[in-house]
């Protein structure tokens, strides 16, 4: 789970949401249908959730390096133990 975006970078504006990437081992659902399974109820601000599989995140690294860098430059909320 990686927290990234303007709130992490220290440049949020009024109304900025929270950007979180969940890295999943795998998923049977298409990307656009996954977020609803992980969204918390009653989150106090807007939340953009990006539930990528490990394979999709690797594809993102190859096909969209700036977006991949934005995500991976964030804060790992669940570091390996």
pLDDT at 81 over 70: no
- For residue 63, what are the domain limits? 1-27+55-81
- Does residue 10 fall inside a structural domain? yes
pLDDT at 14 over 90: no
Of 3-7, 21-25, 55-59, 76-80, give the lowest mean pLDDT range.
76-80
DSSP output for 10-56: T---TT--EEEEEEES--SS-HHHHHHHHPPTT-SS-EEEEEEEHHH
- Does residue 36 fall inside a structural domain? no
- Does residue 20 fall inside a structural domain? yes
- Does residue 43 fall inside a structural domain? no
- Does residue 34 fall inside a structural domain? no
pLDDT at 3 over 80: yes
* Count of structural domains within the chain: 1
SS3 of 66, please?
helix
Quick: pLDDT tens for 25-47.
Answer: 999 999 999 999 999 999 988 99
pTM (2 d.p.) = 0.87
**Across 3-25, average pLDDT:** 90
């Amino acid at each position: 789970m990686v927290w990234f975006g303007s709130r992490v970078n220290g440049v949020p504006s009024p109304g900025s949401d929270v950007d979180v990437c969940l890295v999943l081992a795998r998923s049977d659902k298409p990307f656009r249908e996954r977020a609803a399974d992980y969204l918390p109820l009653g989150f106090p601000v807007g939340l953009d959730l990006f539930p990528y599989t490990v394979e999709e995140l690797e594809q993102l690294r190859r096909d969209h390096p700036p977006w991949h860098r934005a995500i991976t430059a964030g804060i790992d909320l669940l570091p390996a133990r």
